Structure 1
Amino acid sequence: MRKIGLLITVLLCPALFSLGTAPVYKADVIIYGGTAAAIVAAVQVHNMGRSVIVVSPDKHIGGLSSGGLGFTDTGNKSVIGGLARDFYHRVWLHYQQPAAWNWQKPAEYGNKGQGTPAMDGAARTMWIFEPHVAEQVMEDYVRENNIRIYREEWLNREQGVTKKNGKIQAITTLSGHTYSGKMFIDATYEGDLMAAAGVSYTVGREANATYGETWNGVQTGVLHHGHYFKQPISPYRIAGDATSGLLPRVSGEDPGEKGAADHKIQAYCFRMCLTDNPANRVPFPRPAGYDATQYELLGRVLDSGWNEVFNKFDLIPNHKTDVNNHGPFSTDNIGMNYDYPEGSYARRKEIIQEHETYQQGLLYFLANDPRVPAAIQSRMKTWGLSADEFTDNKNWPHQLYIREARRMKGVFVMTEQTVLGKSVVPQSIGMGSYTLDAHNAQRYVKKDGFVQNEGDIGVDIKAPYQVAYGAILPQQQECSNLLVPVCLSASHIAYGSIRMEPVFMILGQSAATAAVLAITTNKAVQEVDYEKLKAQLLKDQQHLEAGK
């Protein structure tokens, strides 16, 4: 009877090819990652009639889109097409239901977005939303398309990629499960599959001289966005006494020569969903290991008269916020993420926990420390975590904002010139439109003995720009059946514009389309006929050039 039962299981589950203790699952396309780009890519493969498996290291899908970033970085929304636009349309449909407004009437919501109304009735899209709504849309995609998804499956980064003749044959996770496919897509924020497959990449900032750029490399003295110290603030434990040692979260290292390369990366943070609705509010917890001295520098900033604590409490529906970094000492945990891109899973977990402790401590400090001005503290006490968000994680976001990690060195490198429209982009597969936007990479002591942040860049672009097909392709000799739509080939500062969730979804769909065409024509991804790719993308309502 056991043999008959086992035979029935195999017949019912044709993707399971091993009868041993280490299962092997097979599909035409294997997608590694649980981001919005990963789910959109899976839907596109399914829509084109091919089998697909999503191997997600995450339990929750949707990445930052469902992890707290509800105040969408749209840029020019007219160039957001395809399944990305469908996502925001589905969000709009959700908020057409009266039941969606359980804490607030629609008319009470301010309808403010980033350069666009939050709810665009004419286009039937909504760009501002609660985290759980985005996650539900992602889960709907999985359910409606019968996407096979294996969650909390972590790639074995040391021995988990099997290659033959420059092609990935299969990937194996730490659980021992193996996933075999014809094409692979790395849709993670970290680029772990790309790196494990032997594809070239970089971490950190290139020198301006590398690609003839202006805004790459070390940017000492460049003060954008207001995320810098506007008043002279001493970085020493005893103000003005250099012999007393530095305060926490200030580097004693030389910041480097302006325009020079380094291995520093822009800061990470959690995008927090807070509420001022008492019926849905959870008081800010005092995190384990809380140390008020970690926020001494913030105390001095407040003493100087700075009063912009609430400037990035961006409103989303139902009396909630998407809170982002703002000011010289805020939610960005500057300089504490350098190990993350290349770190082991254990080291990354430590970094994520340190960011959580830091950010929860920051909230607790502002709401409870006696040195915080009374007006700020009393207002802070009206806010708390949203009880109906991230319910299985103590109402804390499940996704750290990995603004940048590895970046592939691919067939084509997107640079400042391509984003600013100063050079031609070949073979467009989608468009971006956000400003050149990088967060601070370090906090250092200037020669005059005062503290300053470095690395925050905000440069407007004049028009939407195209993203090249070659930017998601590895060099063919390194791997001929892998596409990388998230950790794509771009300079640090170009990536600062490209790294927006709508663009990742756009590129995820385009990568999936190319993967299917490569299978259909039995070609390397680098040899896909671009005209056929373009035709399919246009058919699927991707925007490949402005106005079209």
Structure 2
Amino acid sequence: MRQAEVIVYGATSAGVCAAVAAARRGLDTVLLEPGRHVGGMTSGGLGYTDIGDSRVLGGMAAEFRRAVAAAYGVEPGHYAGPEPHVAEAIFVSWLEGAGVEVVYDAPLRTVVTSGERILSVVTPQGDYTAGAFVDAGYEGDLMAAAGVSYRVGREDRTLHGETFAGRREVVPGMHNFPPWISPFRADGTLLPQVADGPMVEVGEGDGGVMSYGYRVCLTSAPDRIPIERRPGYDEEHWELGRRLFRHWREQGVEPRAGRLVGLAPNLPNGKCDGNSLGPFSLSVLDRSAWDYPDAGPGERERIRLHHLHHAQDLLYFLSHDPEVPASVRAELGRWGLPPDEFADTGHLPHQLYVREARRMLGDRHLTEHDLVQSRPQADVIAMGSYHLDVREVQRTWRWVYEHPDPVPMVVTEGYLSVGVAPYQIPYAAIVPRRVECANLVVPVCVSASHVAFSSIRMEVQYQMLGHAAGLAAVRAAESGKAVQDIDVTALQEELSAAGQVLAL
């Protein structure tokens, strides 16, 4: 049994910041990572970082921004984010400098609890015990195993009276499918990449999570690794994409490769952070992500590979299939995988973009109203500012009642973007209910509705919330108090002294 003072589970950017913050305060800190890398999405493909209002960036998020600038010899903010390997190198240097013990290949097997406290966590690498714990994973596995209440997916609009909750209207837009594309093969069976089954009514909750995908890092440098056909590539799997391109051709639409994958050189050294853009993208919309949050290890790995193969095969499809416009194929042909990124995972990212999984149900539950109205929070520990950003939830089909017979059409549903002013995030949103767990802090799967979480989920917010979580864990471990009972005013003062922005 390894005895520590603070244990952090999940080496996301929030986990790194929490562990480093605790270790810098002199506490014996262990960071348990299920995989083999640190940084989560910040080092796993999401190089072009969504920020919102830069005035809210403080604490360790601002420190990371300065470290990126120093790595390239530029002013802070010159780049929206670093190359993935540079992000990971910064985080590794922080962990080593703070003296954090990092344990890789340490997925959670079980949690030992007594009453309302976690006693230890069990991993393949051993058992670990501490006075305070931080769950910084995207999935909230430690939180769930400790018996903390949570919710998965979008809620009904009536639950919190949120305007934007529940299933969305199917409306035209950049991310929706154009009309008149059939979801069926000639034999009447459903095409791949289209989810079957009816949608709930508009405004109803259905448990659907935002789609997942991989953010691929690409380069046009001469030493790029060409995009090749993967063993197991299925031609028939991409028929929906062919129909989309045929429709565009018939309508006189000339799609640009950059609007399909996002080929702007938006990272240092001419690299690009490929994003999920448009109706047919790196995001997987067949509802497979809906099962991921509560799935076991085997099923999660199957879903992860499904998404990884989608990313690989989409790049091949767009650069080689004859139904794809020649201009798109030619432009994609100029890009490939960078040889200095993700060398141990075939130059594709090591992190699945889990946009949303479990969300804690604490005594304080943030909703759309808190963000849209910028409600003041007396126990503020960080600020957010990015717009409500719900990515597509599903691609399915519906009957459209045209004369003389109904017509089946593919539809994409769920996308939402609503601007908000800078808002405060309270300490109460990152701690569980006292009766459920008294020594756990949760800076990623925070207590928030689906709509509110869509803004909070940005990596810079995770860094700032991780910073606060690490310092809160220190106070709980040192005093023996429940995390709900620490001196939040003193925590705020410590955060402010470290540059955290608590108000504008």
TM-score of the superposed pair, with normalisation by structure 2: 0.94
Residue 208 (str. 1) matches residue 208 (str. 2):
no
1:523 partner letter: K
Aligned twin of 2:412? 453
Residue 155 (str. 1) matches residue 105 (str. 2):
no
Deviations 1:411-449 (A, max 9, x none): 211111111125443411101111100111111212212
Give, in whole Å, the separation in 1 of the partners of 2:71 and 2:374: 40
Aligned twin of 1:235? 183
**Alignment of structure 1 residues 279-428 onto 2, 5 Å:** 279=223, 281-305=224-248, 306=253, 307-311=255-259, 312-315=262-265, 316-334=267-285, 335-421=287-373, 423-428=375-380
Aligned with residue 167 of structure 2, among 218, 233, 236: 218
Aligned twin of 2:448? 490
Give, in whole Å, the separation in 2 of the partners of 1:252 and 1:508: 39
Aligned with residue 67 of structure 1, among 44, 48, 59: 44
Q: What's the secondary structure of 2:396's corresponding residue?
A: strand
Give, in whole Å, the separation in 1 of the partners of 2:230 and 2:440: 41
CA contact (8 A) 2:5 2:29 kept: yes
Q: CA deviation at 1:252?
A: 2.4
Deviations 1:174-218 (A, max 9, x none): 34x111100000000000000000000011111111111011111
Deviations 1:357-404 (A, max 9, x none): 111111111111111111111111111111111111111100010000
Q: CA deviation at 1:125?
A: 6.5
2:48 partner letter: F
Q: What's the secondary structure of 1:447's corresponding residue?
A: strand
Aligned twin of 1:184? 133
Aligned twin of 2:439? 481
Q: CA 1:223 to 1:415, structure 2 compared with 1: closer, same or farther past 3 Å?
A: farther
Question: Please, what is the CA RMSD of the aligned residues?
Answer: 1.4
Aligned with residue 119 of structure 2, among 164, 169, 177: 169
Q: What's the secondary structure of 1:346's corresponding residue?
A: helix
Give, in whole Å, the separation in 2 of the partners of 1:139 and 1:509: 16
Aligned twin of 1:50? 27
1:480 partner letter: A
Q: CA 1:342 to 1:86, structure 2 compared with 1: closer, same or farther past 3 Å?
A: same
Residue 139 (str. 1) matches residue 92 (str. 2):
yes
Give, in whole Å, the separation in 2 of the partners of 1:308 and 1:470: 46
Count of residue correspondences: 488
Q: CA deviation at 1:35?
A: 0.6
Aligned with residue 220 of structure 2, among 258, 276, 295: 276
Give, in whole Å, the separation in 2 of the partners of 1:431 and 1:507: 9
Residue 267 (str. 1) matches residue 211 (str. 2):
yes
Q: What's the secondary structure of 1:218's corresponding residue?
A: coil
2:414 partner letter: G
Q: CA deviation at 1:308?
A: 4.0
Q: CA deviation at 1:458?
A: 0.8
1:420 partner letter: V
CA contact (8 A) 2:444 2:462 kept: yes
Q: What's the secondary structure of 2:329's corresponding residue?
A: helix
Give, in whole Å, the separation in 1 of the partners of 2:172 and 2:210: 15
CA contact (8 A) 1:88 1:126 kept: no
Give, in whole Å, the separation in 1 of the partners of 2:257 and 2:415: 18
2:89 partner letter: Q
Residue 40 (str. 1) matches residue 17 (str. 2):
yes
Could you say which structure has the greater relative contact order, defined with CA pairs below 8 angstroms and 6 or more residues apart? Answer: 2
2:111 partner letter: V
Give structure 2 stretches of 5+ with no counterpart: 401-407
CA contact (8 A) 1:206 1:492 kept: yes
Give, in whole Å, the separation in 2 of the partners of 1:308 and 1:199: 46
Deviations 1:306-353 (A, max 9, x none): 514312224211121000101111110112212211111111111111
Q: CA 1:395 to 1:134, structure 2 compared with 1: closer, same or farther past 3 Å?
A: same
Deviations 1:290-310 (A, max 9, x none): 112211111121122251431
Identity among equivalent pairs (%): 40
Q: What's the secondary structure of 1:502's corresponding residue?
A: helix
Aligned twin of 2:404? none
Q: What's the secondary structure of 2:112's corresponding residue?
A: strand
Q: What's the secondary structure of 1:413's corresponding residue?
A: coil
Give structure 1 stretches of 5+ with no counterpart: 1-23, 97-118
